Amino acid sequence: MATKKLAFVVRSLPYKTEASRLALTHAISSQTVEIYLNDGDLVEASVSYVSDGVFNVLKNQQGGKYYGITTNEGHAKNTLLLDLRVLICKEDLDKFGLTEGNIVIDAEEIGGDTKANIVPYSEILKEMETADHLLFC
Amino acid sequence: MGKLTIGTFSSLVGSLSLDFSVKLAEAAVKKGHTVDFWMSGNATMLAKKGQKAFKDYSFLSKTIQELIATGNFKITACEACAEARGYHKEDCPDGFLRKSMDWYLASTFEADRVLHIGGD
């Protein structure tokens, strides 16, 4: 029995490329990974938003209206619904003038209990240091 | 010898990140390591039959087939990413697998190193 920690570090803008969306969908897929593993083994994913990546958690995204696709906001909420550990870099939010009010911090409306954590970059570094593998997207 | 899991999102031809990923896999296999190679997003373009070699464009099919033949290289495309681009099961070259994203995460479980490359 073992658990491997994967840290997805989202640093790309949403919609410009698919990278940040894929980070979120891959992290979410950690929920079904057991079908490939031995009993008791787990892969645990966390998601950290840094640099331009913090724009992925902006509220009121209009991906459906303009592109006919799901929003990264929706995926961000799903990570919280699934109780993934979510970290958002405080310095980068400050840099772009974003506050807790502008971003997805919980997923209460879809039944999620877990909240995202706005943390200094030093905390995100700690998350990366404790992960078995890092995935920059 | 170790196990390497390489994941890439980058497209064939449009970026050289995919070429780099394949070259890295080739170097690792030549050293005796095993490699799981995962393609998501635009990288699934590599999982399409019938690619032709032109001098101006990347052509990775021959290298990939040689790697598969070693028995130490497993190449898998994200099924949803491929289907979204119109690459169906029948379009998949011999030896390629198609799986859901959790296959990639499962592959990292026993990997000694995970390299996630590209993201265009």
State the best of B105, B113, B117, B120 to mutate against chain A, taking most chain A CBs within 10 Å: B105
Task: For residues B33-51, give the mean pLDDT.
Answer: 96
List, for residues B60-108, the tens digit of each pLDDT value: 999 999 999 999 999 999 999 999 999 999 999 999 999 999 999 999 9
- Can you give the pLDDT at residue B15? 86
Residue A45 in contact with partner chain B when CB distance is under 8 A? yes
| CB–CB contact B109 A41 (8 Å) | yes
Which chain A residues have a beta carbon less than 8 Å from that of B74? Answer: none
- Can you give the pLDDT at residue A97? 97
DSSP character for B10?
P
Helix (H) or strand (E) holding B61: helix B61-70
- The side-by-side arrangement of strands in the sheet containing A85-89 is A117-119, A85-89, A42-49, A3-10, A133-136
B55 confidence band (pLDDT: 50, 70, 90): confident
Return d(Cα A28, Cα B88) in angstroms, integer: 24
Single out the residue of B7, B109, B18 nearest to residue A25, CA to CA. Answer: B7
State the best of A20, A133, A136 to mutate against chain B, taking most chain B CBs within 10 Å: A133
Amino acid making up residue B32: G
Return d(Cα B43, Cα B39) in angstroms, integer: 5
Q: How, if at all, do strands A133-136 and A3-10 pair?
A: parallel
Distance of CA B75 to the CA centre of its chain: 5
Task: For residues A78-86, give the mean pLDDT.
Answer: 97
Cα-Cα-Cα-Cα dihedral sign, residues A56, A73, B118, A133? positive
Instruction: Calculate the alpha carbon distances from B28 to A41, B4, B22, B36, B106 in Å.
Output: 27, 8, 10, 11, 20
- Can you give the pLDDT at residue B118? 75
* Residues shown for chain B: 120
Q: Is the pLDDT reported for residue A94 higher than 70?
A: yes
Task: For residues B26-54, give the mean pLDDT.
Answer: 96
Q: How far is B71 from chain A (nearest CA, A)?
A: 20
- Can you give the pLDDT at residue B119? 67
- Can you give the pLDDT at residue B56? 86
